[in-house]
């Protein structure tokens, strides 16, 4: 009989995925389910809520929900638990909060109405009167 005690070492938790890893997972997920008009917005310096927003459209409520579900599945594959998922029941606008990356999946009419891209990119465009090419 073996009298050696078995020492069980505690397993250290995996480090959380980086914002870039989350963004890569979101890109892969929306591509996998063929989301439409995918836009990524870098919001660092504009808000402390997240580093990146991803906005995508689905062709129907079923498609919107499927895209959001795939985002969650890919994130969990990285070991990231979503902080929240909102709007799944109606599935006209589903928000998936992954912490550093927030994903908005919307029907085109809802997306057009709320115009999140314009909201988060105000001031990013060139100001009137500024030349794109100062040398020219």
Condensed to tens digits (0 to 9), the pLDDT of residues 34-64 reads: 999 999 999 998 888 999 999 999 999 999 9
Contacts of 30 (CB under 8 A, 6+ apart): 38, 54, 56, 67, 70, 71, 103, 105
Contacts of 118 (CB under 8 A, 6+ apart): none
The answer as to whether 64 is a domain residue is yes
The answer as to whether 28 is a domain residue is yes
The answer as to whether 9 is a domain residue is no
The answer as to whether 3 is a domain residue is no
Phi/psi at 21 (5° precision): -65, -40
Domain CATH number, residue 23: 3.30.460.10
- The total of structural domains in the chain comes to 1
pTM of the model: 0.81
Residue 109 φ/ψ region, left for φ over 0, alpha for ψ in the -120 to 50 degree band, beta for the rest: alpha
The answer as to whether 126 is a domain residue is no
The answer as to whether 34 is a domain residue is yes
Domain that holds residue 77: 19-116
The answer as to whether 129 is a domain residue is no
Q: Are 92 and 107 in contact (CB under 8 A)?
A: yes
Residue 3 pLDDT class (50, 70, 90 cuts): low
Contacts of 75 (CB under 8 A, 6+ apart): 17, 22, 25, 26, 29, 81, 82, 96, 98
Q: Are 71 and 8 in contact (CB under 8 A)?
A: no
Q: How far apart are CA 121 and CA 117, in angstroms?
A: 6
**What pLDDT score does 133 carry?**
46
The answer as to whether 86 is a domain residue is yes
């Amino acid at each position: 009989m073996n009298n050696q005690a078995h020492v069980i070492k505690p397993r250290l938790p995996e480090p959380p995925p980086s914002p870039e890893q989350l963004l890569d997972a979101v890109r892969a997920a929306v591509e996998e389910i063929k989301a439409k008009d995918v836009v990524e917005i870098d919001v660092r310096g504009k808000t402390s809520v997240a580093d990146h927003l991803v906005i995508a459209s689905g062709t129907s409520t079923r498609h919107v929900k499927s895209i959001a579900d795939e985002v969650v599945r890919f994130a969990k594959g990285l070991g990231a638990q979503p902080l929240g998922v909102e709007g799944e029941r109606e599935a006209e606008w589903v928000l998936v909060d992954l912490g550093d990356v927030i994903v908005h999946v919307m029907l085109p009419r809802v997306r057009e109405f709320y115009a999140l891209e314009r909201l988060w990119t105000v001031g990013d465009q060139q100001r009137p009167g500024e030349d794109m090419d100062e040398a020219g």
